[in-house]
Amino acid sequence: MMPLIGDGDRFKKIGLISLIIFFIYLILGVMALLFLIPSITEINNTLSIYILARQVNFGDFIQRIDAIFILIWVMSIFSYLAITTYFTLNTFKKVFNVKHKKSMIYSISALIFIISMLPKNISDVTIFESSFYKYTSIAFVFVICLAILVSGYIKKKAELKKGEKELEETS
Cβ pair 42, 49 in contact under 8 A: no
In this prediction, residue 140 carries a pLDDT of 82
> Is the C-alpha dihedral spanning 121, 85, 136, 115 positive or negative?
positive
Question: How wide is the angle at C-alpha 129 spanned by C-alphas 52 and 67, nearest 5°?
Answer: 25
DSSP 40: -
Q: What average pLDDT values come out for the chain (171 residues) when binned by 10 residues?
A: 70 85 80 60 53 57 62 80 86 81 84 87 84 81 86 87 81 66
In this prediction, residue 67 carries a pLDDT of 64
User: How far is 89 from 92, CA to CA, in rounded Å?
Assistant: 5
Number of separate helices (H) and strands (E) present in the chain: 7, 0
In this prediction, residue 130 carries a pLDDT of 83
